[in-house]
Amino acid sequence: MSVADLILKNANVIAVDPVQSTVELVAIKGDKVLLVAGNESLESVRGAKTKVIDCQGKTVVPGFNDAHCHIFSFVRKLLSVDLSPSSVSSISDIKSAISQKAQNTSPGQWLIGTGYNEFYLVEKHHPTRCDIDEVAPHHPVILAHRSLHACVLNSLALSLAGINRETPDPPGGLIDRDLNTGEPTGLLFEMLGYIREKVLPPLSEAELTSGIALANRHYLSQGITSLQEATMVNDLSQWHKFRHFKDTGKLKSRVYMMPGIEALSQFQEAGLAPGSGDSQLRLGGVKVMPNEATGQLYPPQMELNQQVFDAHRAGFQLAIHAIEPSVVEAAITALEYAYSHLPQPGRRHRIEHCSQCPPHLLERLNKLQAVVVTQPPFLYYNGERYLATVPADRLQWLYRIRSFLNSGLIVAGSSDSPVVPDNPLVGIYAAVTRQTESGQPLLPEECISASQALAMYTINAAYASFEEGIKGSITQGKLADMVLLSDDLTKMPPEQIKDIKVEMTIIGGKVVWEA
C-alpha cells in the first residue's frame, strides 16, 4: 500500500457509495482518495510526512456539487446593491439603497441592483422607471429581479438601450407599457440578456478579479467543490475566462460550463467537443431556454425541435430550461423528436428546473431517461410566494422530488444562485422537510430522506455532468473532494439540518477552506 499525503481519522464518513459501509478513515494521495477504511488501517498508509487530521467523530461527506448556478451573475450580485428580501422590504427601501449608491458613484456610471422580488415588497408590485429616476436621474440604473427573468430600468438606462414608445418587443421579450400613454414603464421581461449585450458594460478586469475572489471564498465556505454553470450567454470567451481563473487558482471549485445554444458553433469551430477540458473545467451540455413570457412558446416548437436536434446530433448533452407544464411538455417533445431521428441511449439530456410536472409528463421524461436538475432551496426561499400565487392545479406538481426518484429518474440538486442563496445544507433541509421559510408545508408528500437529498447534491449531480466515475462519492480512486460537517445530517432532527456548519472543505486532496 502506498503512503498517504493526508489522512482524516475518527471521522463519521458518509461515503455516498453503496458498497461502502460505515467507515472512519479516508486516506488521500495526490488529488485522489487512496483508501476508505476503518481507523485500524491508519498505520498501513501513514508515512513520515503524512498529515493526519483528527475529525473527532464529526461527519465527512463528498464535496457538494451545485448542478445549476450562474457564477458571473453571482459575482455581479456580490458587487452590486443587494435588494433581496432580507435587505429591502419596500420600494422606498429600494430607492434609498439606490440613492446611497448614486451618491458614491460618479454620474454616468451604471448602478446595478440585484435580487428584488416584488412579492416580498409591501407594495406587491415592481418598481418603475419613475421610482428610480427620483433618486438617480444621472446614472443609468438597472434592477434585476431575483428570478433574472425581469428587470427594471430607469429613464437614462432605457434611452441608452434605445427603448422607447416605438420600440417593438424583441423576440421572446416583453416591454411593459403604460396602458394610457404607451410609454415603457421601465419593467422588461426576458430581456436581461438583451440589455447585458446591448448596453451594460462588462465587468472591468479589477471588478472581475475582486468579485471572483469573493465568490471563491464563498463557495468554499459552503462546501461547494463543483459548480455547473448554466448561463445562456456562456460562449467561447466565457470558457476562456473560466480557464484563466482555474489556471491562476482564483476559482478553486470545479466548473462544468454549459454553453448557450447560440454559441454552439463557436465551440465546434474551435474544435471543442462535448466533455472537452479536464476535471477542473469541462465543457458541458448546451443550454436552451424556451419560455412563455409573451403568452406563447418561444422559440416555437418546430424551431425548438431543430435547435435541440442540432445539439443532439453534434453529440452535446441538452440542458433545457422548463418551468410551466406546457414548456416542460415542449422540452420533452423536442427531445422525443431528437431521439426519434437519431436514437442514442445514455445521452442524459437534462431538464433544468422541471418546476411543474404532471404525471403524464413524468412518464414521458422517464422514457427519455432524462435527468432533472431541480432547486429545493426555492421551496424554502420562495415557498410563501408559491403558496399564494401558483394556481392549485399546478401547485400539486410543483418541484416534485420523491415522485421523480420513485419513478427511477435521476434528480440533481442545485440553487440557481444568485436567484436564491446557494447553501447546499439549506437545499438538503428543504428537500427533506419541504417547509417554507416561515415553516409552512409545501407538498409534504414529496419529502425525501436526508441520504437521498445528499445524493442529489453529490453523486446525482456528478451523474448530470457524466462525472460520477471520478467524483460524487468518497471512493478509492476518485477525486478527493470532501467536506467536514459539524453534525450528521442523517441522524438529527430534520429541522436542524439547515444549521449544520461546514468546518472544512477539501478539493483535490488540498484543504482549501477551514472555519
Nearest to 279 by CA among 471, 26, 477: 471
Q: Which stretch binds Zn ion (CB under 5 A): 97-105, 198-206, 366-374, 412-420?
A: 412-420
Nearer to Zn ion, 230 or 430 (CB): 230
Q: Which stretch binds Zn ion (CB under 5 A): 75-83, 180-188, 414-422, 450-458?
A: 414-422
Nearer to Zn ion, 322 or 335 (CB): 322
Position with the least CB separation from Zn ion: 416
Q: Can you tell me which residue has the cell 422559440?
A: 299
Nearer to Zn ion, 335 or 420 (CB): 420
- Give min distance, CB of 230 to Zn ion, in A: 5
Nearest to 414 by CA among 146, 66, 74: 66
* 131 interacts with Zn ion by CB under 5 A: no
Nearest to 129 by CA among 91, 97, 166, 100: 91
CA dist., res. 235 & res. 504, Å (int): 33
Q: Which stretch binds Zn ion (CB under 5 A): 333-341, 371-379, 394-402, 409-417?
A: 409-417
- 8: helix, strand or coil: strand
Give me the amino acid identity at 355: S
Q: Which stretch binds Zn ion (CB under 5 A): 169-177, 209-217, 381-389, 411-419?
A: 411-419
Nearer to Zn ion, 131 or 416 (CB): 416
* 416 interacts with Zn ion by CB under 5 A: yes
- 17: helix, strand or coil: coil
DSSP, residue by residue, 241-284: HHHHHHHTTS--SEEEE--BGGGHHHHHHTT--TT-B-SSEEE-
Nearer to Zn ion, 41 or 375 (CB): 375
CA dist., res. 264 & res. 307, Å (int): 10
* 446 interacts with Zn ion by CB under 5 A: no
CA dist., res. 224 & res. 245, Å (int): 16
- Give min distance, CB of 321 to Zn ion, in A: 7
Nearer to Zn ion, 230 or 398 (CB): 230
What is the bridge-based pairing of β-strands 482-485 and 59-62?
A: antiparallel
CA dist., res. 146 & res. 355, Å (int): 17
Q: Which stretch binds Zn ion (CB under 5 A): 45-53, 224-232, 329-337, 396-404?
A: 224-232
Nearer to Zn ion, 37 or 322 (CB): 322
- Give min distance, CB of 510 to Zn ion, in A: 29
- Give min distance, CB of 273 to Zn ion, in A: 24
Q: Can you tell me which residue has the cell 419513478?
A: 407
Name which of residues 266 to 285 contact Zn ion (CB under 5 A): none
Site size for Zn ion, by CB under 5 A?
A: 2
Nearer to Zn ion, 287 or 434 (CB): 287
Nearer to Zn ion, 156 or 311 (CB): 311
- Counting every residue written for the chain, the total comes to 515
Nearest to 42 by CA among 51, 345, 504: 51
Q: Are 406 and 366 in contact (CB under 8 A)?
A: no
Nearer to Zn ion, 230 or 255 (CB): 230
What x/- string results for residues 226 through 245 when contact with Zn ion is judged by CB under 5 A? Answer: ----x---------------
CA dist., res. 427 & res. 379, Å (int): 9
- Give min distance, CB of 291 to Zn ion, in A: 12
Name which of residues 346 to 385 contact Zn ion (CB under 5 A): none
Spatial CB neighbours of 159, under 8 Å, sequence gap ≥ 6: none
- Give min distance, CB of 305 to Zn ion, in A: 22
CA atoms within 13 A on the CB side of 333: 16
Name which of residues 89 to 128 contact Zn ion (CB under 5 A): none
> Which residues are at the interface with Zn ion (CB under 5 A)?
230, 416
